[in-house]
Amino acid sequence: MQSERKRLEAAVSDETIEALRRRITELDQLVRQLNQSGLDNARAQLLLARKRAELEDFINRGQRCQDRSNGTTTTRITRHG
């Protein structure tokens, strides 16, 4: 068992080991980029949600002002999600 393992270790060249190390480094960098992309996407989603809420608030305030001026009432439709 031991001799087979040593034979296999000897068969793996230094070049192969270096190639594997380079590939691992590339994969680590890719993982970091994907993680950063995920954070950027989360930030963008949060910004969009905030802007949507601001716009809905602006529209709702405009509706209330309009309702007061003509004495009508409106049914407000609330979107979730």
Tens-place pLDDT, residues 31-48? 999 888 888 898 899 999
Does 17 reside within a domain?
A: yes
Does 64 reside within a domain?
A: yes
Does 11 reside within a domain?
A: yes
Q: Which whole number is the average pLDDT over 47-64?
A: 86
Does 81 reside within a domain?
A: no
Structure tokens at 69: 């001026």
Does 22 reside within a domain?
A: yes
Does 16 reside within a domain?
A: yes
Which residue range is the domain that position 66 belongs to? 2-70
Number of domains in the chain: 1
Sign of the alpha-carbon torsion through 56, 60, 66, 70: positive
> What pTM value is reported for the model?
0.47
Contacts of 63 by beta carbon, 8 Å cutoff, 6+ apart: 74, 76
Does 58 reside within a domain?
A: yes
Does 79 reside within a domain?
A: no
